[in-house]
């Protein structure tokens, strides 16, 4: 912005107005305010408020640490570990020690061999089941303490954007002026609504609706008959449990699963392909009970359970946007699009976007260049993140019709969980050593965006191959068994996946990155890894 325009700004004109005081809005507002950006953060609701998006993954937590250090907001960092969350933010949160999957076939006893688990090794990170009403309030309060102006109970009902900035109007007739608007308003995104940005129909291949709530009295699955004979490394109740079956999955996210837990709550949600399970003419509780009657071994976990808040029952949940960045505005991940809670990638996408958006906004507030081109990468990133998640979840739902196929697809997901985390972790450590922001900007050099450089391209090729095969399975031109074999072969042949991980070994259903395994991976990185990814193992490539 030129000096004249700057001088003309009145007290009520903000650099950035953020709509939505959830995880995206609160984190971004704290970072921007810390850097002297004049920020307004507005939400229609009040904190504390219920939200889902509770289960974290190592990539999300590393990205939270990156944001805390890169933008020098140390109060964000406790969100990145179970202990940090417990001590500083929310003792009502739970602990996540693994991703657990139990495969069910209707009318048959659960086969104890048809289970999968991805352990989150404590030496690496400790993940959480976030009690969102606490975390979101904490981030909002943090933003205000850094100087952001916070306005709750204020619904924005009209927006104007143009070359001179943004005007927001509330339902009480107030007006707010800003140079730039970030819409972190979630699926009801006022900006998408105003500018007709929703892609109709969505390009998402995945189809699902959901019903979810919080319950008390949910019995650990480990104590149920359906778990007799399971030999997974970590009890099911110690992590995020997914009961998977043809046409959907059910999440069990306990908050009471650690020593000294104060909470008795458990988050429960059923996600169903609405073409296989059309929405019935029943209450959500009746629908849930009817579902349990079809799967008695899942039902045992809920025999003594009661809901403590009303069910939320959605229609099809997938939505996308034709563009997520425009003149003087940007949508953040959950406002831009959504696929499914499967694999807990929502917060991953949220923090990825906040990280890449924040430095652009800080620079724009300093030099006054709010041009759309400056933010163009954010659109490419969000479209890429959306497509990666869609391909993963679409392939998984096709996989849910046949255990062998699901078992194979889960290896692709594991690769996509492990490798980007390692790349980000390496960049983070290098950043801490050199304090050179370019190290983090280089992560954006992934083509196509959606998974970070230098592993992104290899993984996207693997994922596309998997999704195309699953499309053929869906079309009936390839059998699930053939597809499973081809996917495992492709995992084996993907040179960027460390061979010591043995991700293509069909019997290797529970994965634990022990220090010994990671040492062998480091040796592989030194001696056998393709040149372009050697850098993530600490060797120049
Ligand atoms: C069923 C389900 C399960 C999920 N599970 C997971 C999971 O396990 N792990 C994970 O990582 N992610 C998960 N996600 C995704 C996760 O919920 C989102 O990534 C995350 O909540 C996004 O945060 P946000 O701040 O962008 O939006 P939100 O948390 O949705 O916040 C948006 C805010 O905007 C406000 N707002 C909207 N419109 C207006 C308006 N007109 N005026 C003023 N304020 C407005 C709302 O009041 C709200 O407070 C899940 C999502 C769903 C739907």
Nearest CA to ligand 1 atom 9: 344
pLDDT of amino acid 10: 52
pLDDT of amino acid 539: 59
Residue to mutate (ligand 1; options 150, 186, 195, 272; most atoms within 8 A of CB): 186
Compute the distance between CA of residue 321 and CA of residue 315 in angstroms, rounded to an integer.
18
Q: Which atom of ligand 1 is nearest to the CA of 185?
A: 34
Q: Is the CB of 453 under 6 A from ligand 1?
A: no
CA of 329 to the centre of ligand 1 (A): 19
Q: Is the CB of 332 under 6 A from ligand 1?
A: yes
Q: Taking the complete model, does pTM exceed 0.75, yes or no? A: yes
CA of 474 to the centre of ligand 1 (A): 31
pLDDT of amino acid 445: 87
- Whether 340 and 317 have beta carbons less than 8 Å apart is answered as yes
| 8: number of Cβ within 10 Å | 10
Nearest CA to ligand 1 atom 38: 185
- Name the 3-class secondary structure at 177: strand
Q: Is the CB of 94 under 6 A from ligand 1?
A: no
Positions in the chain whose pLDDT score sits under 70 = 1-11, 539-541
Compute the distance between CA of residue 145 and CA of residue 149 in angstroms, rounded to an integer.
9
Burial status of residue 138 (CB atoms within 10 A of its CB: 0-12, 13-18, 19 or more) = buried
Please state the three-class secondary structure of 191-260 as a single string.
HHHHHCCECCCCCCCCCCEEEEEEEECCCCHHHCHHHCCCCCCCCHHHCEEEEEECCEEEEEEECCCCCC
Q: Is the CB of 29 under 6 A from ligand 1?
A: no
Q: Is the CB of 240 under 6 A from ligand 1?
A: no
Q: Which atom of ligand 1 is nearest to the CA of 345?
A: 11
pLDDT of amino acid 447: 78
CA of 361 to the centre of ligand 1 (A): 22
CA of 417 to the centre of ligand 1 (A): 22
Q: Is the CB of 45 under 6 A from ligand 1?
A: yes
- Whether 36 and 214 have beta carbons less than 8 Å apart is answered as no
CA of 51 to the centre of ligand 1 (A): 7
CA of 492 to the centre of ligand 1 (A): 37
Q: Tell me which residue has tokens 């429960």.
A: 268
CA of 260 to the centre of ligand 1 (A): 29
CA of 468 to the centre of ligand 1 (A): 30
Output the furthest CA–CA distance in the chain (Å, rounded): 74
Nearest CA to ligand 1 atom 11: 347
Q: Is the CB of 480 under 6 A from ligand 1?
A: no
pLDDT of amino acid 7: 40
250-305 tens-digit pLDDT: 999 999 999 999 999 999 999 999 999 999 999 999 999 999 999 999 999 999 99
86-131 tens-digit pLDDT: 999 999 999 999 999 999 999 999 999 999 999 998 877 899 999 9
CA of 64 to the centre of ligand 1 (A): 17
Nearest CA to ligand 1 atom 3: 341
Q: Is the CB of 26 under 6 A from ligand 1?
A: no
């Amino acid at each position: 912005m030129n000096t004249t325009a700057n001088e003309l700004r009145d007290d009520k004109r903000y650099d950035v107005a953020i709509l939505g005081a959830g995880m995206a809005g609160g984190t971004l507002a704290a970072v921007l305010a810390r850097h002297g950006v004049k920020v307004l953060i507005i939400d229609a609701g009040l904190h504390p408020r219920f939200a889902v998006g509770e289960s974290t993954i190592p990539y999300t937590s590393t990205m939270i640490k990156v944001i805390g250090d890169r933008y020098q907001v140390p109060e964000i960092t406790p969100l990145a570990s179970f202990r940090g969350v417990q001590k500083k933010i929310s003792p009502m949160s739970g602990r996540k020690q693994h991703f657990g999957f139990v495969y069910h076939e209707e009318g048959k006893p659960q086969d104890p061999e048809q289970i999968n688990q991805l352990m989150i090794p404590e030496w690496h990170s400790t993940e959480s089941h976030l009690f969102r009403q606490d975390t979101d309030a904490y981030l909002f309060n943090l933003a205000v303490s850094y100087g952001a102006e916070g306005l709750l109970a204020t619904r924005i009902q009209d927006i104007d954007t143009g070359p001179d900035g943004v005007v927001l109007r509330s339902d009480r007739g107030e007006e707010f002026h800003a140079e730039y608007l970030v819409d972190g308003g979630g699926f009801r995104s006022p900006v998408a609504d105003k500018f007709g940005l929703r892609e109709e129909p969505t390009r998402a291949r995945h189809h699902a609706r959901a019903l979810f709530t919080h319950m008390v009295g949910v019995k650990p699955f480990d104590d149920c008959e359906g778990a007799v004979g399971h030999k997974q490394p970590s009890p099911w109740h110690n992590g995020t449990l997914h009961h998977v079956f043809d046409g959907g999955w059910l999440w069990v996210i306990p908050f009471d699963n650690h020593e000294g837990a104060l909470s008795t709550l458990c988050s429960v949600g059923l996600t169903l392909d609405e073409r296989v399970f059309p929405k019935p003419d029943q209450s959500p509780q009746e629908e849930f009970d009817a579902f349990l009657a079809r799967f008695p071994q899942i039902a045992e976990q809920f025999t003594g359970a009661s809901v403590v808040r009303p069910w939320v029952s959605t229609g099809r949940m997938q939505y996308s946007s034709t563009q997520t960045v425009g003149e003087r505005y940007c949508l953040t991940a959950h406002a831009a699009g959504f696929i499914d809670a499967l694999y807990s990638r929502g917060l991953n996408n949220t923090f990825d976007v906040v990280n890449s958006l924040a430095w652009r906004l800080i620079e724009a507030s300093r030099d006054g260049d709010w041009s759309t081109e400056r933010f163009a990468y954010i659109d490419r990133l969000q479209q890429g993140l959306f497509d990666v998640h869609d391909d993963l979840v679409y392939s998984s739902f096709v996989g849910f019709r046949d255990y062998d196929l699901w078992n194979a697809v889960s290896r692709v997901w594991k690769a996509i969980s492990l490798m980007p985390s390692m790349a980000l972790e390496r960049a983070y450590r290098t950043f801490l050593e050199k304090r050179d922001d370019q190290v983090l900007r280089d992560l954006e050099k992934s083509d196509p965006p959606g998974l970070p450089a230098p592993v992104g391209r290899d993984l996207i090729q693997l994922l596309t191959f998997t999704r195309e095969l699953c499309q053929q399975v869906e079309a009936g031109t390839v059998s699930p068994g053939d597809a499973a074999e081809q996917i495992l072969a492709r995992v084996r042949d993907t040179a960027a996946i460390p061979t010591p991980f043995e991700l293509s070994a069909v019997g290797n259903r529970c994965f634990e990155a022990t220090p010994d395994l990671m040492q062998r991976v480091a040796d592989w990185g030194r001696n056998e890894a393709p040149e372009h990814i050697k850098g993530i193992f600490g060797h120049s490539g």
